Structure 1
Amino acid sequence: MDPYLLIITILSIVLVIVGVSVFKWHAFISLTVASLFLAIFAKMDFTQIVKSFETGVGGQLGHLIGILALGTMLGKLLAESGAGLKIANFFIKVFGEKKLPWAMFASGFIVGIPVFFEVGILILLPLIISIQQSTKKNILVIGLPAIAGLSIVHGLVPPHPGAVAAIGIYGADIGTVLLYSLIIAIPAGILGGPIFAKLITKVVKPKGEPDLLKAKSTLDDGITAPSTFTSFFIILLPVILMVIGTLKTQITSNETVQHILQFIGEPLIALLVAVFAATYLLGYMRGRDRKTVKLFLEDCLMPIGSIALIIGAGSGYKQILIDSGVGTMIGNMAQDMSLSPLILAFLIAGLIRVATGSATVALTTAAGIIAPIVATMPDVNLALLVIVTGAGSLMLSHVNDAGFWMVKEYLGLTLNETFKTWTLLETILSFTAFGMAMFLNSIL
């Protein structure tokens, strides 16, 4: 049964690619058809197929749809007010055009520490587009380093949920994991970010351009652009609130206050507060009337429908992969190999990532499989074990990963361009982090 499941999984992935690129189906249709194909041929109970798909869609969009909407609103206000261009011009002036990829990597890395990958993209996207419009550079030179910074932090560095879960499962020390993960994540991110972006842009020149949040760069007569300080304050406000929520126990010992700080640090609430602040500081304070601001916010939500459908269908596909037993099957196959626990954890996480499309699912599932194996092996470095598991969970992002579609749609890439850039970037991050972890393991 295992080879059969593997074959139909591969065929379902091919079906997604062929549907989008050859038949020109919308990605939502391709992913839905591939999900049904996999479920039927995996012999799932017919009464469970639709329920499983809907569970996947609802689970992801239930968490993400509000964040997508608010993040898009915030980005639109940053773009239309000229705040995005203010920040772009600041970076161009301070770093110069040649060092912009490094500045964007640092921005992605710092912003990514307290926020989820999807939230980080929405926070940084207006900045990426504004800088691209100011410099007219290939958007990949600016966008890929920022995305690399977000992704490597998401995969390796606590307090992200996957890393925290693996720390708990393995019984590792969070402080040691944090130290090692930063030592490994920075050089891995540099290789997968600024360096890779410089090389890949010689080969890939996107045919399209991002439609979402595009700034018109046309301020009406009498409309003044915000100050640089105000522009930075708005884009960093949700990050600041999320950091406060993360550090609640360090800020106060009062449980009631901790609960309040945790509440305002939730991505949905932090972005809602930021949208209200942007509406006032970038809208009304700049001379925009309520009707104009409302039109901005309504206009920017229209493109959300397509990407929400794609992300939802990708998550439905992921749930079918899980419920059909594909993830378990791949984990069992890898567990049968006689390898070092660190190598085994990396491989299992990577295979589950490829099968399910979720870095968090891959990390936590692989940790659950490996934990009993290392329980009787006292010489295993548990902190590095967490990191190699996280590294494995990043590799080979493809059509069953919501991040794949977010990058494709938000950067205006074709399917082929997304494979050549995002998929390769994720794989570089994965194997570089794994190699560095194995090196540290050999000298510690």
Structure 2
Amino acid sequence: MEVYLLLITLLSIVIVILGVSWWNWHAFISLTVASMFLAVMSGLSLDSIVHAYETGVGSVLGHLVGILALGSILGKMMSDSGAGVQVADFFVRLFGEKKLPWAMLFSGFIIGIPVFFEVGIVILLPLVIAIRKKTKQNILLIGLPVIAGLSIVHGIVPPHPGAMTAISIYGADLGEVLLYSLIIALPPAIIAGPLFAKWVHKRVVPVGEPKVVRPDTPSQTVPSVGVSFFVILLPILLILLSVFAPYLPLPSVLADSLIFIGSPLIALLISCFAAYYFLGFRQGMDKKLIKKLTDECILPLGSIILIIGAGGGFKQILIESGVGDAIAQMAENFSLSPLVLAFVVAGLIRVATGSATVALTTAAGIVSPVIANMSGVNLELLVIATGAGSLMLSHVNDAGFWLVKEYLGLTVKETFKTWTVLETLLSFIAFGLVLVVDMFI
């Protein structure tokens, strides 16, 4: 029976992969069809299938919808107010021309915290191109560190959708994930960013010209550097404050208030209003424009929310059908670490589907039942391990591959030599650090 359950689980994953990459289905449709196939083939009663799926969707999205919406609003305000460019300019001035790759790394790393990868590219690429024209340097030396900083943060650091989904599915502590991920994210970003760029720019010289993209900046003035940093870092500071509040010698009322304010939903809500004021009204935006920007960034969230919800439904079907117990038994027999299992499963699905979100959501759904009855599993590091796996070996089925190719003016071969290698370095180095940290905590 266990072998049969594992076999139909593999077939359901194949359905997800074929649906996304071969039949061109939306990932939500692929995950839902795979869930129904798994439920029917595992023998779940027909009257319980829909209920199980809806329970799974609700359990994940109930926690995430508000956070994703608020995070998206914050990123949009950062982008359209010019605050992101202000932060990047600050690092360029701080590091100077000789250390530009390091300036670009930290620009990508900091700006990547509140904004999606694609938005970060649009914010920073005009700066990269301007610097390249001025210094006549290989664009890879300046551009790859930016991409490394943006990508690693998007992959493993909350409040990005992937990390938030895994936190919700595993039941991990967001504050601790944020703390560990910020520590773990920097070394791989340094190696895959400035260090790799320094090595590869001598070996790959792009023949094409980068595509110039200009972010919209409808505000009349640009916020100061201090205000820009404040708005970017505010939600992180509030969340981290809630982590340390229970250990500080504070009155219980004050400690409880800090924990409430530092919950991700409230922290992001406060940060959005700070962004509305400091990046919006103070820079000349009116209420109508701010409403328009909010609408513009919330509408595209529908696709991400559907994928994440379907991943939650898939997870619940795995649990209800007994597949989770079968996978757990197999992992126990092979003495397979949940960290390794999560990394490998996420990596395989990422390579097959090209979507980091689908990889992370599906992998978390598969691994979640495995750890249900295990003790000693660090759930926070499990989130980061799954996120690290979802970054590896980006190739032609990944939208990010083509985004980088076009924006940096690379050929397909040059993109493989740069972007694909960079993503794989980020993935394996981050996972290696997860294993190291796991030895000590």
TM-score normalized by the length of structure 1: 0.68
* 2: CA distance, partners of 1:386 / 1:324: 23
* 1: CA distance, partners of 2:222 / 2:281: 12
Q: CA deviation at 1:36?
A: 0.9
Matched residue, 2:62: 62
Alignment of 1:29-178 (within 5 A): 29-95=29-95, 96-100=99-103, 102-103=105-106, 107=110, 120=113, 122=115, 127=120, 129-136=122-129, 141-148=145-152
Summarize deviations over 1:198-226 as a string: whole Å, max 9, x none: 899979xxxxx9x9xx931354xxx1111
Matched residue, 1:246: 243
Q: CA deviation at 1:350?
A: 5.3
Q: Say if 2:105 and 2:145, in contact at 8 Å, map to a contact too.
A: no
* 1: CA distance, partners of 2:277 / 2:371: 46
Summarize deviations over 1:206-255 as a string: whole Å, max 9, x none: xxx9x9xx931354xxx111111111111111112112212213444311
Alignment of 1:34-433 (within 5 A): 34-95=34-95, 96-100=99-103, 102-103=105-106, 107=110, 120=113, 122=115, 127=120, 129-136=122-129, 141-148=145-152, 187=187, 190=190, 215-219=215-219, 223-337=220-334, 344=337, 346-347=339-340, 357=362, 362=367, 365-366=370-371, 368-369=373-374, 393=386, 396-397=389-390, 424=424, 427-429=427-429, 431-433=431-433
Summarize deviations over 1:153-173 as a string: whole Å, max 9, x none: 77xxxxx979x9899xxxxxx
Q: CA deviation at 1:306?
A: 1.7
Secondary structure of 1:369's aligned partner: coil
Amino acid at match of 2:305: A
Matched residue, 1:170: none
Q: CA deviation at 1:21?
A: 2.1
Q: CA deviation at 1:270?
A: 1.0
Amino acid at match of 2:63: H
Q: CA deviation at 1:76?
A: 1.4
Amino acid at match of 2:286: D
Matched residue, 1:25: 25
Q: Say if 1:396 and 1:424, in contact at 8 Å, map to a contact too.
A: no
**Worse-matched range after superposition: 314-323 or 31-40:** 314-323
Q: Say if 2:156 and 2:181, in contact at 8 Å, map to a contact too.
A: no
* 2: CA distance, partners of 1:33 / 1:349: 23
Aligned positions, number: 384
Amino acid at match of 2:433: A
- Percent identity over the alignment? 37
Summarize deviations over 1:23-58 as a string: whole Å, max 9, x none: 222221111111111111122222221112112211
Secondary structure of 2:374's aligned partner: helix
Distance 1:26 1:91, change over 3 A: same
* 2: CA distance, partners of 1:45 / 1:423: 43
Distance 1:333 1:392, change over 3 A: farther
Secondary structure of 2:285's aligned partner: coil
* 2: CA distance, partners of 1:274 / 1:346: 33
Q: CA deviation at 1:319?
A: 2.2
* 2: CA distance, partners of 1:250 / 1:61: 31
* 1: CA distance, partners of 2:390 / 2:63: 21
Q: Say if 2:53 and 2:316, in contact at 8 Å, map to a contact too.
A: yes
Secondary structure of 2:25's aligned partner: coil
Summarize deviations over 1:323-355 as a string: whole Å, max 9, x none: 322232122112124x5xxx6454566578789
Amino acid at match of 2:68: L
Matched residue, 2:208: none
Amino acid at match of 2:13: I
Summarize deviations over 1:352-396 as a string: whole Å, max 9, x none: 87897465984895484355xxxxxxxxxx9xx889867765564
Amino acid at match of 2:125: Q
Q: Say if 2:242 and 2:263, in contact at 8 Å, map to a contact too.
A: yes
Q: CA deviation at 1:300?
A: 1.8
Secondary structure of 1:247's aligned partner: helix
* 2: CA distance, partners of 1:125 / 1:184: 22
Q: Say if 2:189 and 2:426, in contact at 8 Å, map to a contact too.
A: no
* 1: CA distance, partners of 2:316 / 2:421: 26
Distance 1:276 1:106, change over 3 A: closer
Summarize deviations over 1:240-284 as a string: whole Å, max 9, x none: 211221221344431111111111111111111111111111111
* 1: CA distance, partners of 2:264 / 2:185: 23
Q: Say if 1:56 and 1:319, in contact at 8 Å, map to a contact too.
A: yes
Secondary structure of 1:233's aligned partner: helix
* 2: CA distance, partners of 1:52 / 1:9: 16
* 1: CA distance, partners of 2:191 / 2:36: 38
Q: CA deviation at 1:7?
A: 2.0
Secondary structure of 2:310's aligned partner: helix
Amino acid at match of 1:243: L
* 1: CA distance, partners of 2:301 / 2:430: 30
Q: Say if 1:248 and 1:258, in contact at 8 Å, map to a contact too.
A: yes
Distance 1:27 1:412, change over 3 A: farther
* 2: CA distance, partners of 1:39 / 1:422: 38
TM-score normalized by the length of structure 2: 0.69
Q: CA deviation at 1:195?
A: 6.0
